[in-house]
Amino acid sequence: PEIKQKTVSTERAQNSLWLVKVPKYVAERLQKCEVGSKFGVIQTQRTPAGPEFTFEVEPKLCEPCNGLPACPSSHTMKLGTLAGVNRNLAVYSDTQDVINIEGVVKTKFDVMQRSDPKSSLSYMKLKRFEAEKKMDPGRKIVITNKSHNNFKPSNVSREQMYTTKAEREEKLRNKRTRLDADAVESMILRAFKKHQYISQKHLVAITGQPEAYLKGFLHKMCVYNQKTPHKNTWELKPEYRYYESDNAGPSEET
């Protein structure tokens, strides 16, 4: 595909930006906050050791919601360094026709929960909830006195759901039906007039009978060879052997 060329705007490239890293629970509430609404307040206090920054989340956003417990509202902002990070870290915004450079990151802050008792208790409750949620199994056994039908009745069988019409018709054509005993015995005798030794696979193909059904006749009329040279083949028992006089004899094996 053709790559569309865009204009890069550097009007706001000299702006100094902050890179602020917040805890997961703060990020979750920030994502649910409406665009343009107030999320929190950053306060600065001068001390002999240098300026201190605090971040206060709006109290209504820290309240329990959607099954989540309350979260701490007071946080400290620790000034970090950009060591090991590209000094030219910038922020871009992409519009339909123009790519704007919003500014360059000059300062990094890490937002951390404060150590006062109220915030610590709220934070411990939040972490406990997260730990219990991870240990909670996905499925639970519920005992109920009512019967629940979790599926809709259908007149479509499982085979019709997972096979095509052509496959079902082919299976129906190849379906083997049981014949009466006299007809099966006659087919077995005719087969052994041509060959003295026949494998079970070929007997199934010749008679067209189910393999389990045919096996009963084979045990009654035949002997199974388990030794060479005719291993794994069937042979008629002596009392069932009959060959026409005009033939020299049946062929050895099939």
Q: pLDDT tens for residues 99-112?
A: 988 888 888 888 88
| Helix count and strand count (H, E) for the chain | 7, 11
Residue 212 pLDDT > 80:
yes
68: exposed, middle or buried (Cβ count in 10 Å: 0-12, 13-18, 19+): middle
pTM given for the model: 0.43
Q: What is the pLDDT of residue 236?
A: 93
pLDDT for position 185: 92
pLDDT for 254 equals 65
Sign of CA dihedral 7, 12, 17, 23: negative
Q: Which of 2-11, 13-22, 185-194 has the lowest mean pLDDT?
A: 2-11
**Other C-beta atoms lying within 10 Å of the C-beta of residue 243:** 14
> Which pLDDT band holds residue 246 (cuts at 50, 70, 90)?
very low
* Cα 17 to Cα 27: distance, rounded to the nearest angstrom: 19
Give the position of tokens 């989540």. Answer: 68
Question: In this predicted model, what pLDDT tens digit does every residue of 48-90 receive, in sequence order?
Answer: 888 888 888 888 888 887 777 788 888 888 887 776 555 678 8
DSSP single-letter state for residue 100: E
Q: Which of 7, 3, 60 is nearest to 29 (CA)?
A: 60
CB 63 within 8 A of CB 72: no
- Taking alpha carbons only, the member of 125, 102, 103, 122 closest to residue 113 is 122
Q: Is the pLDDT score of 198 beyond 70?
A: yes
